[in-house]
Structure 1
């Protein structure tokens, strides 16, 4: 994966990029990651998250808008292992995850608000590949996400 720094991307591209204001926790073994955005909007139900991450990722980053809920986990080690096996670059969760010790060993970029051991519902409620707004940033399917320890920036095109 090519080296980049989000601060340098902002310096080079300025207002063409959007920076997410949320201070996500870094929970995966991959400190920096990037790829085209896919989205899931769901709250306390990870059925769609599991379905997508069990399919081909093609280097994409799944952005999960869980509405900021920390009541249940939207991803755990088994779903994250499937994401690695299926070629996803990363997962950003506006909500909670679980199995954080196991997540820390996986070659996957993982950002989340926090953790909770409680499982979520599995009904598949929510929507896939619709724009979501998190931390003042609009995550649009097909746009590009770049994440490193300094934060997350978004671009309409690959940089």
Structure 2
């Protein structure tokens, strides 16, 4: 499906008003060659620890979007070039990170969408903590597992259901 988030907002104004379609705050940036991506959300809640991110991305993605609530930490990166390659190889549509990424040039070469707050060269820990398939609160909207994510250079949308 080819889309822009701006066009989706225009076409679904009633859903925006009702809250069935929500817009994340405009603090997320696109770090990928893929200009737009969408799919049902798989959610993670972690903090400065990406072991669960890797474990999840090693599973078949089946066109889903991994939504990682990293608590907005800017102290280390939760996703880098290696994890983007794993996501691409396993069929994930994209990754949304409420936190940092690194290896921006490698992310730009990957055929998987990546959206995050910013970059940080420092890697994070790998202690194995975190929660999966739980509601997460990102800046601007909550995301439930299975809700639909639509992302492009203009922003990130969260929808209760797939949009036409």
Task: Report the alpha carbon displacement of residue 22 of structure 1 after superposing the two structures with TM.
Answer: 3.7
SS at match of 2:151: strand
- Could you say which residue in structure 2 is the equivalent of 1:98? 102
Alignment of 1:43-82 (within 5 A): 43-82=47-86
RMSD, matched Cα: 1.0
Contact 2:46–2:71 under 8 Å retained in 1:
yes
- Could you say which residue in structure 2 is the equivalent of 1:123? 127
SS at match of 2:79: coil
Unaligned runs of at least 5 residues, structure 1: none
**In structure 2, C-alpha distance between the alignment counterparts of 1:97 and 1:9, rounded to whole Å:** 27
- Could you say which residue in structure 2 is the equivalent of 1:7? 6
**In structure 2, C-alpha distance between the alignment counterparts of 1:127 and 1:142, rounded to whole Å:** 15
SS at match of 2:35: coil
Which digits, 9 at most, give the CA deviation of each residue in 1:76-110, with x for residues without a partner?
A: 11111000000000001111111111111101110
Which digits, 9 at most, give the CA deviation of each residue in 1:57-86, with x for residues without a partner?
A: 010010111111111111111111000000
SS at match of 2:41: strand
Aligned residue pairs: how many? 158
1:134 aligns with 2:138: yes
Contact 2:29–2:153 under 8 Å retained in 1:
no
**In structure 2, C-alpha distance between the alignment counterparts of 1:147 and 1:128, rounded to whole Å:** 21
